[in-house]
Amino acid sequence: MPLFMLASLFCSFLICKVVTVMRSIARIVFLLSLPLAIPSSASEVGSLWEPVGLFHKPITSKTCSSVPANKLNRVPGYKFTYQQTDDCDYFYPSHTSLALHVFYVEWVAKFGDTDGILLSAINELIIEYGTYQRLVARIYGMDGDFRPGQTVVNGLTGNRGKYIFVWIGKGSHPKLHKTSFVHELVHVAIYAANFGEHGDPDHLGEKYKGWTHMHTKFIKDTNEILKSMDL
Ligand SMILES: [Zn+2]
């Protein structure tokens, strides 16, 4: 091997070594600077739910360079669809995009979307993932049972079907198929069909029309597909 090549190899090896050592020092300094009160893992939810006021507190100490937390990130493949999350690992915009595609394909196969109303709706959606559940009053259960008081919810659809909130769930490996993601998208679809008037908040109840047993089964089937895709 020519001498200059050997020299350049040695140099890059030396630079590499220096960078590694500097990185280690930086990591130790960073860890020492963290207050002990911050939980080591953001997915470690201490209790079943936390008060709403705590929701926007950044509970993660991770550096989220590619998908910053508490900031709107674009969902690829959709015109005006964005997501926000308080834990940068859950869920990635690319995973949201895939799950949305699956939802749409399955919806069209079962219910159709000839005028493209649903396609427009999912192209203009704000999705918020949260590590905390929320407390909401005046809601309905799956059978239309009205709950006037504060109730812990895993997800909700608002702003005339242009916003969904999805709790990422418990455990160290949150998955979209275990969340209310598809359930909320069904509300979005019903909102879109009603031009934003309502998204059938009482589900199978009599007060609002739209939700049927077919929709409940659709959620189960779609979540099975997401599960098989490890989403
Ligand atoms: Zn619902």
pLDDT value, residue 4: 52
- Ligand 1 centroid to residue 176 C-alpha, Å: 16
Q: Would you kindly state where each structural domain of the chain is located, as residue ranges?
A: 1-34, 73-228
Q: Which of 167, 145, 142, 165 is nearest to 154 (CA)?
A: 167
- Ligand 1 centroid to residue 67 C-alpha, Å: 28
The whole-model pTM stands at 0.73
- Ligand 1 centroid to residue 186 C-alpha, Å: 8
| Surface-to-core class of residue 15, CB atoms within 10 Å of its CB (0-12 exposed, 13-18 middle, 19+ buried) | exposed
pLDDT tens for each residue of the chain, 231 residues long? 455 555 555 545 555 565 566 676 666 555 444 443 333 222 222 334 433 433 444 444 456 667 777 889 999 999 999 999 988 889 999 999 999 999 999 999 999 999 999 999 999 999 999 999 999 999 999 999 999 999 999 999 999 999 999 999 988 889 999 999 999 999 999 999 999 999 999 999 999 999 999 999 999 999 999 999 999
CA distance 91 to 99: 11
